[in-house]
Amino acid sequence: MASVAARYDDLKKLDVEVLSCSVDSHFTHKMWQEHELSKMVEGGVPFPMLADTGGKIGTLYGVYDEAGGVNVRGRFLIDPDGVIQAMEVLTPPVGRNFAELVRQVQAFQHVRKTGEPTPAGWQPGKKTLKPGPDLVGKVWENWKIGD
């Protein structure tokens, strides 16, 4: 969460709204913000921290661990229509990659705007695929790893 907070402006420039959510109460979030997060990121976390004290939101997203009473760490990219386009759920010992988050947002925004699929590892300005019957069985002719 701190890495997202530290580079929050990068996401705002992409018109991304960020929300965090945990089973902790808003009182716990306030303490965490004051005693830890604000020491990691100047000003602390600049986006809302939602309290999912009963695990209802986590249950809807498939990340609530009822036995542990916690939401497993996850990241969800939700498009302007409210549709989940991507999700990543990792066990606590492994952190997420902010650069990959930004790349995926840019790729989903490009696809939404142009309808052109983006191949693995696509970066803005790089080659995309043009969907259609001419592409079937010929992706290898149109795209090479590293393009």
Q: For 42-65, what is each residue's pLDDT tens digit?
A: 999 999 999 999 999 999 999 999
List, for residues 105-121, the tens digit of each pLDDT value: 999 999 999 999 898 88
- % of the chain beyond a pLDDT of 70: 99
pLDDT band for 135, please (50, 70, 90 cuts). confident
- Name 77's bridge partners: 86
In degrees, rounded to 5, the angle at the alpha carbon of residue 105 between the alpha carbons of residues 99 and 106 is 90
Residue 127 CA to residue 145 CA, distance in Å, equals 11
Tell me the HSE value of 111 on the side-chain side, using a 13 A CA sphere.
15
- According to the model, what pLDDT value does residue 130 have? 80
Q: Is the pLDDT of residue 78 over 90?
A: yes
Q: What is the pLDDT of residue 147?
A: 65
**What is the phi/psi pair of residue 130, to 5°?**
-100, 110
pTM of the model as a whole = 0.86
CA distance linking residue 23 with residue 61, whole number of Å = 13
Average pLDDT over residues 87-111: 91
| Rounded Cα distance, 54 and 60, in Å | 12
> What are the start-end ranges of the E strands in the chain?
20-22, 49-51, 64-65, 70-71, 74-78, 84-89
Question: What pLDDT sits at residue 87?
Answer: 95
Strand, helix or coil for residue 84: strand
**Structural domains of the chain ordered from first start:** 2-91 (3.40.30.10)
The mean pLDDT of 26-40, rounded to a whole number, is: 93
SS3 of residue 134 by DSSP: coil
Mean pLDDT of the chain: 91
Torsions phi, psi for 21 (to 5 deg): -150, 130
How far apart are the two ends of the chain, measured CA to CA in Å?
31
